[in-house]
Amino acid sequence: MDKRFTVEKLDPSDDKVSFVELILELKKNMRERDLIDLGDTCDDVDWAFIVSIRLSEEVYVYRNEDGNVLCVVGKSMEDKGSIGRAVWMVGTNYINDGYVRPLLIKEARRLIGEWVKKHGLLYNCVHEDNVKSIRYMTMLGAKWLPEMTERNGKKFYNFYIVGGDE
């Protein structure tokens, strides 16, 4: 039987809301790979996370039965210079306590399916050493570009997911 989780939709544009508590809670048990990936994209992980939230159109916080953060998932705002939306997720170690199937497979497929149907294209990049995320995103339908992106001397694979008839 799948474990249960709750989901809270955040309003990233609400200037009255501070996301510092969420970031502190997330960082207490963040997956090491996510921490490494964020650190490789910028010098200040906290700032990167705040910017990711604030520049998102939709952000969801998933929690386990005890109220612990499992992951935070977001989709970027519309960028007038491009099509589609960037998608991102940062997770905690609690995901491995029986939430992989209900959250990372079932819920992620539902959410990605909804977003790609709405926007036609989803994209982002994954650190070259993050084999689990590469496999996971491929399972969710990601196609990989041969070119890599470099940030702070680290390499990232670019992916996209298209909706409809490709």
Q: Which domains does the chain have, with CATH numbers?
A: 6-120 (3.40.630)
> pTM, whole model, 2 decimals?
0.91
Regions of the chain where pLDDT drops below 70: 1, 164-166
Q: In Å, how far are 79, 84, 135 from 119, measured between CA atoms?
A: 12, 5, 23
Question: In this predicted structure, what is the pLDDT of residue 166?
Answer: 42
Containing 90, the helix (H) or strand (E) segment is strand 85-91
